[in-house]
DNA sequence: CCATTGATTGACAGCGCTGTCATTCAATGA
DNA sequence: TCATTGAATGACAGCGCTGTCAATCAATGG
């Protein structure tokens, strides 16, 4: 950059001129060489190479061509969970030549709404969103999007278009059933910033509903107003044990990060797992399974969710408007029988 | 979607008409309400709201307006390392209203080149790339990009424009120095698919160069032709110990995933760390530090790299063409004195 | 030999917006 | 009072490409 104004990039019309064909023929040759004669295709490609031509998809998309961009809105990247989902999305999008355009909502509905607007203003081919208490304006935007929209993570919702995920209510319920069956009696819960993380709350609801149906209940609940982390879980368990009138015999944590923290507290305090205290988490993270005593938790198939979501978008794009109406894909969860509960 | 053709979205000219102003005034009111009278701004905003107008940035960018998209090319998302980098990028881009457009090269130079073309064809405001043996065509593309380009992860390179990272050669050298100082004599190395992961190779080069300068050398080297993983590291160490004529007293692994696998092998075989065998890794992942005996490793400041890279792009964009020429930002690494070496 | 067919190619118009420059007009000071 | 200034607004043109439909032309069969 010598300070001069940037030299204009070569355009399609220049390529066409050199190749001695019309602009539209050059366009076709470059996009799908099978739609023109072999000779024509070669001439055009040579001209493009000679000029260092680089397609301008801005113009292409504006003129009505397809976009290969897909909006992706996730609440956070601080935690491996959504990185896994993103990986799953990439797995399928990359192969199809699509690119995620990323926005992080930070669990903030207002920010999420702004992101939806922002990403939609690029007229993407589709949108994948892990919703965070979406505003009604957000839902209205998505409903009128005019392209496929997939809401991911949770299937306990009324999707605007499609959704892919698991039943968090069901996951909480299943864990409650497992713990009841194991004979635990004094249940406690330790959670993180649950106002923002709606899905953790849904799990808790499923958990307590099942306890109550079995004539049991939570004897202690601690929710901490901060993002989930190992440290938060460790401190949380310390606090709960300190403050509880009667010690619980099992603690359900809002997720594996928190639960691993709980395990660490037990290790450092010589509380034996699961005899003296049992611990359960959610997600099935690798770290939980790599512990000396593997964590009892619920596997949440995060990568799978991403893959299925990408697949749903691509399928819909291929089918055009003849596609089936709103659908919900449940990838299912699995109870991981570790050694901590 | 009733099967009819998608209804046209409201356009700026419709907004302008309703507001009773010219198109360009409406455009200005919507982009920067301070550039028009308060009253005008209100009228336009009301008209836009009434119509459900959604800005079309495709048209805007084509007409010469700025883009808020930034191409981001990473080799993989399978591993927390690049998820961390992406988080760092997001931290700064999100606040500035920029969005990463993601491409995953899978450590494949050809694929990387295709991605560069693909992302550049959207005329982004900048590009961040963790290079994977970039082809000369790739470098040429980047050199003529006309927007800021940051190559990340490694500063031991000749950057096309800017670069942000650490010296992997230096990191390998530093670990060698540390291990020599500790008195280890029989050094071994276990690595993963090093043909593709060039940076791991650079660390190894720094490591061996330093050993040799001190009159030492690697007594055993095992490189496995697969992506790095805990399992690969575990099996690798088992294989190395089985095949080696003389057992090493310290093993340098290509990264923490691999090294943690090595630690697991030692645990299951009752090999005491670090007396019987010492282990060192690279990255400073949380899991390594959460082990019963924390891993000796090199902290690589991944989130910081992302943040600095985003900052460099944003700064350059603000400064316009008057910006300083090519620069290299070294965020530095830190030796993590764990208990395994 | 001529009508018919399908494959190639091209003309046209316009996607929706913004940079650039010119115009308008009220406010200001000599 | 009139020239001067700066803010607000507008006219114009064009960014680079692709969908649609029409035109062309060689190959085919009756």
Q: What is the CATH number of the domain that holds B178?
A: 3.40.50.2300
Q: B240 and B275: one domain? A: yes
Closest residue in A to B73 (Cα–Cα): A99
Instruction: Report residue A147 as tokens.
Output: 């392209």
Residue B4 above 60 pLDDT? no
DSSP conformational letter for A283? B
Cβ contact, residue pair B290, A323, below 8 Å:
no
| Cβ neighbours of residue B86 closer than 8 Å, sequence gap 6 or more | A77, A83, A102, B72, B74, B77, B100, B102, B306
Assess if residue B6 is contained within a domain: no
Backbone φ/ψ region at A152: left (φ over 0), alpha (ψ -120 to 50), beta: beta
**CA atoms within 13 A of residue B336's CA, in its CB half-sphere:** 25
B123 touches strand C (CB under 7 A): no
Assess if residue A191 is contained within a domain: yes
Q: B20 and B127: one domain? A: no
The pLDDT of residue A4 is: 43
Residue B2 above 60 pLDDT? no
Question: Does B271 sit behind a cis peptide bond, omega within 30 degrees of 0 on the bond before it?
Answer: no
| Cβ neighbours of residue B34 closer than 8 Å, sequence gap 6 or more | none
The pLDDT of residue B78 is: 87
Q: B276 and B175: one domain? A: yes
Categorize the per-residue pLDDT at A3 as very low, low, confident or very high, splitting at 50, 70 and 90. Answer: very low
Average pLDDT over chain B, rounded to an integer: 92
Q: B178 and B281: one domain? A: yes
Report which secondary-structure segment, H or E, holds B330. Answer: strand B327-330
> Which residues lie across from B100 on neighbouring strands?
B70
Number of A:B CB contacts under 8 A?
A: 120
B226 touches strand D (CB under 7 A): no
The pLDDT of residue A179 is: 98
> Which residues lie across from A328 on neighbouring strands?
A163
Chain A residues whose beta carbon lies within 8 Å of the beta carbon of residue B259: none
Average pLDDT over chain A, rounded to an integer: 92
Report, as an integer, the average pLDDT of B125-141: 95
Write down the H helix ranges in A144-225.
Answer: 168-181, 198-213
Q: B102 and B211: one domain? A: no
Assess if residue A234 is contained within a domain: yes
The pLDDT of residue B176 is: 98
Selected for mutation to probe chain A from B30, B74, B90 (highest A CB count within 10 Å) is B90
Nearest to A300 by CA among A250, A338, A256, A253: A256
Burial of B238-271, coded b for 16+ CB within 10 Å and e otherwise, reads eebbeeeeeebbbbbbbbbbbbbbbbbbbbeeeb
Cβ B174 vs Cβ B214: under 8 Å? no
The pLDDT of residue A290 is: 79
Q: B159 and B238: one domain? A: no
Q: B295 and B184: one domain? A: yes
The pLDDT of residue A324 is: 62
Using a pLDDT cut of 90, give the percent of chain B over it. Answer: 80
Count of domains in chain B?
3
How far: B41 CA to D10 C1' (Å)? 16
Report, as an integer, the average pLDDT of A84-92: 96
Closest Cβ–Cβ partner in B54, B102, B322 for A120: B54
Report, as an integer, the average pLDDT of A280-304: 92
How far, CA to CA in Å, does B83 sit from each of A77, A78, B89, B329?
Answer: 7, 9, 10, 20
To the nearest whole Å, the CA of B58 is away from the closest chain A CA by: 6
Q: The domain containing residue B295 runs over which residues?
A: 168-299
Chain centre distance of CA B251: 27
Closest Cβ–Cβ partner in A54, A77, A101 for B121: A54
Q: Each residue of A12-64: pLDDT tens digit?
A: 999 999 999 989 999 999 987 777 888 888 999 999 999 999 999 999 999 98
Assess if residue A264 is contained within a domain: yes
Distance CA A192, CA B74 (A): 31
The pLDDT of residue A1 is: 38
Instruction: Report residue B77 as tokens.
Output: 């998302």
Q: B47 and B104: one domain? A: no
What's chain B's Rg over C-alpha atoms? 26
Chain centre distance of CA B46: 42
> Which residues lie across from A251 on neighbouring strands?
A188, A279
Cβ A334 vs Cβ A284: under 8 Å? yes
Instruction: Report residue B300 as tokens.
Output: 């690589």
Distance CA B122, CA B61 (A): 9
Categorize the per-residue pLDDT at B138 as very low, low, confident or very high, splitting at 50, 70 and 90. Answer: very high
Categorize the per-residue pLDDT at A321 as very low, low, confident or very high, splitting at 50, 70 and 90. Answer: low
Assess if residue B64 is contained within a domain: no
Q: Does B183 touch chain A (CB under 8 A)?
A: no
Residue B166 above 60 pLDDT? yes
User: Of A126-130, A318-322, B225-229, B287-291, which gets the smallest average pLDDT?
Assistant: A318-322
Q: Does A143 touch chain B (CB under 8 A)?
A: no
DSSP conformational letter for A195? T
Q: Each residue of B254-293: pLDDT tens digit?
A: 999 999 999 989 988 999 999 999 999 999 998 888 787 8
Assess if residue B76 is contained within a domain: yes
Rounded to the nearest 10 degrees, the angle between the axes of helix B38-51 and helix B12-19 is 120
How far: B14 CA to D2 C1' (Å)? 42
Cβ contact, residue pair A122, B69, below 8 Å:
yes
Residue B212 above 60 pLDDT? yes
Q: B280 and B258: one domain? A: yes
Q: B185 and B294: one domain? A: yes
Categorize the per-residue pLDDT at A330 as very low, low, confident or very high, splitting at 50, 70 and 90. Answer: very high
Nearest to A311 by CA among A113, A78, A128: A128
Using a pLDDT cut of 70, give the percent of chain B over it. Answer: 96
Cβ contact, residue pair A101, B69, below 8 Å:
yes
Residue A246 above 80 pLDDT? yes
CB neighbours of residue B200 within 10 Å: 23
Assess if residue A86 is contained within a domain: no
Chain A residues whose beta carbon lies within 8 Å of the beta carbon of residue B144: 52
Q: B161 and B202: one domain? A: no
Instruction: Report residue A214 as tokens.
Output: 């079995």
Nearest to B85 by CA among B267, B279, B334, B331: B331
Closest Cβ–Cβ partner in B54, B62, B322 for A121: B54
Nearest to B305 by CA among B284, B336, B319: B284
Q: B84 and B109: one domain? A: yes
Categorize the per-residue pLDDT at B1 as very low, low, confident or very high, splitting at 50, 70 and 90. Answer: very low
Assess if residue B1 is contained within a domain: no
């Amino acid at each position: 950059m010598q300070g001069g104004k940037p030299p204009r990039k070569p355009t399609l019309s220049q390529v066409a001129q050199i190749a001695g064909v019309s602009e539209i023929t050059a366009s076709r040759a470059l996009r799908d060489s099978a739609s023109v004669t072999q000779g024509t295709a070669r001439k055009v490609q040579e001209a493009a190479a000679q000029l260092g031509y680089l397609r301008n998809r801005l113009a292409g998309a504006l003129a009505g061509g397809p976009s290969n961009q897909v909006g992706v809105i996730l609440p956070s990247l601080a935690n491996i969970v959504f990185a896994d989902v993103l990986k799953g999305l990439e797995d399928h999008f990359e192969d199809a030549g699509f690119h995620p355009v990323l926005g992080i909502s930070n669990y903030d509905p207002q920010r999420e709404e702004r992101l939806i607007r922002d990403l939609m203003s690029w007229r993407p081919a589709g949108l994948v969103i892990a919703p965070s208490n979406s505003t009604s304006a957000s839902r209205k935007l998505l409903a009128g999007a005019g392209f496929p929209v997939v809401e991911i993570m949770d299937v306990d919702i009324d999707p605007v278009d499609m959704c892919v995920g698991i039943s968090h209510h069901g996951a909480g319920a299943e864990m409650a059933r497992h713990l009841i069956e194991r004979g635990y009696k004094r249940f406690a819960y330790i959670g993180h910033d649950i106002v923002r993380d709606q899905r953790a709350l849904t799990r808790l609801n499923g958990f307590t509903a099942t306890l109550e149906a079995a004539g049991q209940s939570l004897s202690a609940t601690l929710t901490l107003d901060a993002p989930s982390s190992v440290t938060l879980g460790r401190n949380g368990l310390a606090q709960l044990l300190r403050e509880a009138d009667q010690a619980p015999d099992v603690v359900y944590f809002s997720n594996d990060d928190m639960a691993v923290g709980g395990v660490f507290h037990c290790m450092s305090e010589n509380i034996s797992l699961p005899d003296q205290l049992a611990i359960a988490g959610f997600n099935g993270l690798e770290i939980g399974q790599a512990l000396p005593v593997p964590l009892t938790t619920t596997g949440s198939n995060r990568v799978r969710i991403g893959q299925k979501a990408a697949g749903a978008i691509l399928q819909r794009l291929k089918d055009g408007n003849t596609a089936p109406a709103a659908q919900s894909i449940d990838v299912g969860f699995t109870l991981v029988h570790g050694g901590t509960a």
